[in-house]
Amino acid sequence: MGTLLLKGKPVSDSIRLALEPRVQSLKKIGIVPKLAAIIVGDDPASQVYVRNKARAFEKLSCESQTYRLDSKSNEENVLTLIDRLNNDPSAHGILVQLPLPNHLDSKTILHTVSPNKDVDGFHPENLGLLLEGNPNFIPCTPHGVLEILRHYDISVSGRHAVIVGRSNIVGKPMFALLAQKFEMGNATVTICHTGTKDLAAYTKQGDIIIAAAGSPNMITGDMIKEGADIIDVGINRVDDDSEKGYTLVGDVNTESVMGIANSVTPVPGGVGPMTITMLLVNTVKSAEKCVELVTGW
Ligand code: NAD
């Protein structure tokens, strides 16, 4: 069986193209969609993520402002800034870059972001609306996964989707989306995690596998069923002798599923490019909501 590589870039490009006229319509009435990104401390990976987000916003003629707080900032410093941005009409989206330094309670901080500006979709009100089947802002990575499935015409309804990972940012919202009676949902969903005994017994039953465990190469060809569609959300650094000193690999051992799976997303270049695109989508949507002009997603 030839295994199709589900690249994220064409999906991401077509969504960004569809956003352009929406951004232009907003501009005509004096609104520029704007993201306020808060970064606390100097975690190098977070710096790269925030820089990439800022670039993507500029490319689409949107704005992005990064607020850098010292790693020793206390909770009050962060909450005061969020409060200011919640009340700033020019900021349509607020993003708190995770992970936060250990001394800060991410729950308290994420809960302070106004649900109307929560373009990451992490606020409990937005997660609740998603569970209810009436989403406001959908978390970007799981939303990006659905857009990949849609773009490549991979059917979801009636199939068995097996998710590996139960985090609040990927696994759980992915479950909520795939199980809903939505156009890109209506699947039978199994969610596996570190408490699952005999993971392979479940992954072998998956028509669709969503791997989001953060464990390099853990899903191998002998753990999947023939013809499965595999979405690899994992991004893991594995140290090696290369010039960079590491290689990025997913949670799926891609080589070993080739010829068995119907399709698989590559790492890098699969789900990765989708996350920022869906952040753009949510921020444009938030700006449109201010003037009751939502036209898509
Ligand atoms: P997390 O550490 O918060 O959660 C991982 C989940 O996987 C946990 O619920 C755990 O129970 C489960 N798990 C871990 N090891 C397991 C195992 N051996 N068997 C079964 N279940 C296991 O991670 P996360 O934030 O959800 O991210 C998961 C992966 O996705 C990471 O590699 C992360 O870098 C990547 N990620 C990628 C994007 C993207 O844009 N592509 C976005 C977010 C996360």
Please give the pLDDT value at position 292. Answer: 76
Distance of alpha carbon 231 from alpha carbon 11, whole angstroms: 14
CA of 142 to the centre of ligand 1 (A): 12
pLDDT > 90 in the chain, percent:
94
Nearest CA to ligand 1 atom 17: 194
Give the pLDDT confidence score for residue 45 in this predicted structure: 85
The tens digit of pLDDT for each residue in 148-202 reads 999 999 999 999 999 999 999 999 999 999 999 999 999 999 999 999 999 999 9
d(CA 57, ligand 1 centre) in Å: 26
Model pLDDT, residue 296: 63
Give pLDDT tens digits for 225-247. Answer: 999 999 999 999 999 999 999 99
Task: State the pLDDT at residue 44.
Answer: 87
19-23, 48-52, 174-178: which has the minimum mean pLDDT? Answer: 48-52
Q: Whose CA is nearest to atom 24 of ligand 1?
A: 167
Structural domains of the chain ordered from first start: 32-117 (3.40.50.10860), 140-271 (3.40.50.720)
What residues act catalytically?
53, 97, 120
> Which of 163, 194, 231 best tests ligand 1's pocket when mutated (most atoms within 8 Å of CB)?
194
Question: Hey, what's the torsion of the CAs at 194, 200, 206, 210, to 10 degrees?
Answer: 40
Read off the pTM: 0.96
Average pLDDT over every residue of 259-269 = 98
User: Which residues line ligand 1 at a C-beta cut-off of 6 Å?
Assistant: 141, 164-167, 169-171, 192-194, 196, 199, 212-215, 218, 233-236, 271-272, 275
Question: How many Å apart are CA 100 and CA 96, to the nearest integer?
Answer: 8
What is the Cα gyration radius of the chain?
19
Task: Taking residues 258-273, report their average pLDDT.
Answer: 97
Q: How far is the centre of ligand 1, averaged over its atoms, from the C-alpha of 187 (Å)?
A: 21
